[in-house]
Amino acid sequence: MSFEAGTVDLVTCCAAVHWFDFDTFYKEVDRVLRPGGVLACYSYMLCTPVCRGHSLRSTVEELFHELQSYWTESHSLLWEEYSTLPQLYSDDLHIGSSGGGFRSGSEGTVEEVVGYMESWSAVNKLKEKEGKEAALLFLKEAKQRLLQAAGTDNDKETFTRQYDYFLRMWRKPFN
């Protein structure tokens, strides 16, 4: 980071820290944070599509688990909601996603839900290992299953995408 040492109050990282080299990242965060500064890492586990008042979470979870062999080991940190991230400082706080305390949402179509799935690293790994056609087939089947679970064949139907966030943060000691 191109900041002078001890000049930053807050470093945030959304949906990415599980990809980082912790030794390098933590060293740089420690360098730039001022005493009392905070590192906040947050993310969400999976999108929960809702259509016609019905949660399609179980369908997304099924699709997610079908790609199990394509997820990287670093994703275990994500599945554990960052609770097992290496500790940076002793002043440490973790807030899980249960209870919907940090929820955001947006409306769209099934195509946007499938577009979200297409961004999964496991889909990209599937494409690398099995070819573009295999990834496209997975996404086509995902769309069909989501529509079926929603009880519609209208791909223009409104889907609400809900994201429940979790947070892990540390405060740098004042001394």
Q: pLDDT digits over 10-39, tens only?
A: 999 999 999 999 999 999 999 999 999 999
Integer Cα distance of 46 and 163 in angstroms: 7
pLDDT single digits (tens) 79-90: 899 999 999 999
Q: Parse the chain into domains and list their residue ranges.
A: 8-171
Residue 108 · residue 115 · CB < 8 Å:
no
Per-residue b or e along 103-121, where b marks 16 or more CB atoms closer than 10 Å to that residue's CB: eeeeeebbeebbebbbebe
pTM beyond 0.75: the answer is yes
Q: Please choose, from the candidates 51, 62, 71, 59, the residue with its C-alpha nearest in 3D space to the C-alpha of residue 162.
A: 51
User: Could you report the per-residue pLDDT of 42-85, keeping only the tens digit for each?
Assistant: 999 889 999 999 999 999 999 999 999 999 988 889 889 999 99
The answer to whether residue 91 scores a pLDDT higher than 90 is yes
Q: How many CA atoms lie within 13 A of 88 on its CB side?
A: 30
pLDDT of residue 122: 96
Domain 8-171 has CATH 3.40.50.150: yes
Nearest Cα to 11, choosing from 84, 21, 25, 82? 25
Six token digits for residue 35: 């005493």
